[in-house]
């Protein structure tokens, strides 16, 4: 069985590993646009340091199985009828099973002035190198638009690199709205401000200002005030790379639509990771990509396995701080018990006598206990462990 995987990120890497372990009679060809080995995109901002190297980001161990081959070419189109993929040099490659794992691209705001020099998105190694070069002469006023994980990480890494205050603008009323409740976000914001970040929440960008050289000079917000900026980093979400699927006639919505078994609308073509849409959602999470890779391998091996989206769970490093979010952290209809230490804060969400969620900031000590007891009745033993 010849398996072709388009894309070379964490979803592709883990899919290949799992397939090689599960399917004996197979060969795998992985197509990659980038010249780098598979790497962790969530760590690319560390390359702002002059001493960092992309080799430090590589996903390990390197795949050395003789059944595996990395092809450093861009896939131009797919011919599902004849089971062929064409690279941009016109060469055709046959497949028995095709896996789309070509990820997503960073979104940019479609606003006036958005094409000015000095406005960046950061998703790839090359993106970070371009930003690093620009910052050498434009580090006085940096603004990051987006208060999600990657936006905060970008702001913190730029602050560490330049020594300058960096401003974060978040449209939502508080930071990390997908992972945190408001009170936890306020606590995190204070910690981040103590590290050298300036954070403005509930602020929407209306347009970008620029000078006579077409270099960005500021951000204008909806209520009329402006923020000076010689560098802007946009961290406002992702868009699935659906172009191959659209051209091939596959069903596409937000992402490439897949069924419970990660099969697209065309037989023998699967999609996983940030390009895949399951139950109307593109999750955009590493944990989901890892789960999909395992399910994919099982299905290719002929062991039909349904993919189910796991309960919300995030274990993050935000500007060096542990931030753990588990389960349902909505405050609606539940009791919230907070335990705060000198350098950490733990919030537990109790709904109908069950532990429905938790947010841990500055510590991950209670992670195992919370995860094991999520959506279960709180026993005296668990209460004691969580100091409830």
Q: What total of structural domains would you count in the chain? A: 3
Return the exposure string of 173-189: e unless at least 16 CB atoms fall within 10 Å of the residue's CB, then b. ebbbbebbbeebbebbb
What domain range is 329 assigned to?
313-386
pLDDT reported for residue 26 = 95
Name the pLDDT band for 50 (thresholds 50, 70, 90).
Answer: confident
On whether residue 343 sits in a domain, the answer given is yes
Whether 353 and 329 share a structural domain: yes
Q: Could you report the per-residue pLDDT of 322-359, keeping only the tens digit for each?
A: 999 998 998 888 999 999 988 999 999 999 989 999 99
**Average pLDDT of span 104-111:** 93
Same domain, 60 and 207: no
Q: What is the CATH number of the domain that holds 32?
A: 3.50.50.60
- Domain end, chosen from 267, 300, 333, is at 300
pLDDT band, residue 311 (cuts 50/70/90): low
Same domain assignment for residues 227 and 243: no
Same domain, 6 and 43: yes
Q: Is residue 129 part of a domain?
A: yes
Given 215, 234, 253, the domain boundary residue is 234
| Residue 173: inside a domain | yes
User: In this structure, are 224 and 130 located in the same domain?
Assistant: yes
Instruction: Give percent of the chain above pLDDT 70.
Output: 99
Considering 274, 300, 326, which residue would you say is the last residue of a domain? 300
Per the domain annotation, does 308 fall within a domain? no
* 110 lies in some domain: no
Q: Which of 137, 111, 138, 115 is nearest to 214 (CA)?
A: 115
Residue 257 CA: distances (Å) to CA of 2, 81, 266, 310, 375: 23, 19, 10, 18, 30
Examine residue 112 and state whether it is found in any structural domain, yes or no: no
337 plus 283 within the same structural domain: no
Within this chain, do residues 139 and 220 fall inside the same structural domain, yes or no? yes
Instruction: Please state the pTM of the whole predicted model.
Output: 0.89
């Amino acid at each position: 069985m010849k398996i072709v995987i388009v894309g070379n990120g964490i979803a592709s890497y883990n899919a290949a590993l799992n397939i090689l372990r599960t399917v004996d009679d197979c060969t795998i060809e992985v197509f990659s646009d980038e010249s780098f080995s598979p790497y962790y995109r969530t760590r690319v901002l560390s390359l702002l340091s002059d001493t960092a190297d992309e080799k430090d980001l590589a996903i390990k161990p390197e795949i050395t199985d003789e059944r595996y081959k990395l092809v450093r070419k861009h896939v131009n189109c797919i011919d599902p009828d004849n089971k062929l993929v064409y690279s941009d040099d016109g060469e055709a490659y046959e497949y028995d099973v095709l896996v789309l794992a070509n990820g997503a691209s960073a979104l940019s705001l479609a606003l006036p002035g958005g094409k000015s020099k000095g406005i960046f998105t950061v998703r790839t190694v090359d993106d970070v190198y371009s930003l690093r070069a620009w910052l050498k002469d434009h580090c006085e006023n940096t603004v990051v638009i987006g208060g999600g994980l990657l936006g905060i990480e970008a702001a913190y890494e730029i602050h560490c690199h330049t020594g300058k205050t960096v401003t974060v603008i978040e449209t939502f009323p508080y930071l990390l709205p997908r992972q945190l409740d408001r009170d936890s976000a306020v606590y995190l914001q204070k910690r981040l401000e103590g590290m050298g970040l300036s954070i403005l929440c509930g602020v929407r960008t209306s347009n970008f200002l620029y000078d006579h050289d077409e270099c960005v000079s500021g951000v204008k917000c909806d209520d009329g005030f402006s923020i000076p900026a010689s560098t802007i980093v946009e961290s406002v979400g992702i868009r699935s790379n659906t172009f191959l699927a659209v051209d091939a006639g596959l069903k596409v919505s937000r992402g490439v639509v897949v069924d419970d078994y990660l099969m697209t609308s065309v037989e023998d073509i699967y999609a996983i990771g940030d390009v895949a849409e399951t139950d109307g959602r593109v999750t955009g999470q590493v944990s989901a990509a890892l789960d999909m890779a395992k399910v994919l391998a099982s299905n290719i091996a002929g062991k039909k396995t349904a993919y189910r989206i796991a309960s919300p769970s995030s274990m993050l490093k935000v500007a060096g701080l542990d931030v753990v979010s588990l389960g349902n952290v909505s405050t609606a209809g539940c009791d919230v018990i907070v335990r705060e230490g000198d350098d950490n804060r733990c919030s537990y969400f109790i709904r109908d006598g069950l532990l429905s969620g938790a947010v841990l900031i500055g510590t991950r000590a209670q992670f195992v206990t919370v995860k094991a007891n999520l959506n279960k009745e709180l026993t005296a033993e668990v209460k004691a462990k969580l100091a409830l």
